[in-house]
């Protein structure tokens, strides 16, 4: 048998040398492209994770600065759910708006030590697990209250590509 000819074996056709060269050539061209695509996907995920980390920090900072309940709701979805210890999950925007308004008129807040611990992204849904200190200062007092909390947020990406918080859950960090 000469080089480049096919030879029949009992289990199928053997690939000839020319076909093997073509396959190797295609692989050599596709491999760098696939590597670039996977790096781009990783870079995209890193960028999305950074957006999600910043979302929570911006939410707390902007709400604290503005003291306006509308600012609170610009970071969340229309069907937002708030889940806190010792209470049922709440999703009634009107009652949440009154709670937020009362809280912001009687307290100022800021983040203390805070860290993002895990972000999982699948298409337009993300889970963000983070923890940190929330510093609450009643406006009629000089005392600051430091509350260490663990958070679990579920986020949705809207049609404009923005992440919004769908479910915000917190509990004491013990």
DSSP state letters, 16-66: PHHHHHHHHHHHHHHHHHHHHHHHHHHHHHHHHHHHHHHHHHHHHHHHHHH
CA-to-CA distance for 171 and 174, rounded, in angstroms?
9
CA-to-CA distance for 56 and 117, rounded, in angstroms?
13
pLDDT given for residue 78 in this prediction: 93
Place of tokens 């895990």: 118
pLDDT given for residue 10 in this prediction: 47
pLDDT given for residue 26 in this prediction: 58
Which one of 3.40.50.2300, 3.10.450.50, 3.60.15.10, 3.40.50.620 gives the CATH number of domain 12-172? 3.10.450.50
pLDDT given for residue 39 in this prediction: 43
Maximum CA pair distance of the chain? Answer: 96
CA-to-CA distance for 48 and 60, rounded, in angstroms?
19
Q: Residues 104, 68: contact at Cβ < 8 Å?
A: yes
Q: Where are the domains of the chain?
A: 12-172
Q: Residues 22, 4: contact at Cβ < 8 Å?
A: no
Please give the average pLDDT of every successive group of 10 residues along the chain, which has 174 residues.
47 56 60 49 80 92 89 94 91 91 92 93 94 93 93 95 94 84
Q: Residues 80, 92: contact at Cβ < 8 Å?
A: no
pLDDT given for residue 20 in this prediction: 58
What are the residues whose beta carbons fall under 8 Å from the beta carbon of 129, sequence distance 6 or more?
116, 117, 118, 119, 150, 151, 152
């Amino acid at each position: 048998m000469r080089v480049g000819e096919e030879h029949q074996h009992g289990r199928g056709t053997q690939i000839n040398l020319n076909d093997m060269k073509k396959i190797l050539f295609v692989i050599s061209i596709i491999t760098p492209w696939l590597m670039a695509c996977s790096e781009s996907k990783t870079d995209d995920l890193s960028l999305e994770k950074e957006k999600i980390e910043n979302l929570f920090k911006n939410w707390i900072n902007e709400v604290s600065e503005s003291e306006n309940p509308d600012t609170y709701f610009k970071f969340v979805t229309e069907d937002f759910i708030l889940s806190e210890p010792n209470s049922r999950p709440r999703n009634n925007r009107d009652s949440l708006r009154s709670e937020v308004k009362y809280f912001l008129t009687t307290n100022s807040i800021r983040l203390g030590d805070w860290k993002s611990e895990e972000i999982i992204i699948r298409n337009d849904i993300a889970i963000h697990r983070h923890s940190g200190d929330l510093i609450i200062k009643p406006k009629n007092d000089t005392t600051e209250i430091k509350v260490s909390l663990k958070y679990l947020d579920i986020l949705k990406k809207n049609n404009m590509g923005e992440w919004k918080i769908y479910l915000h859950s917190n509990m004491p960090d013990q």
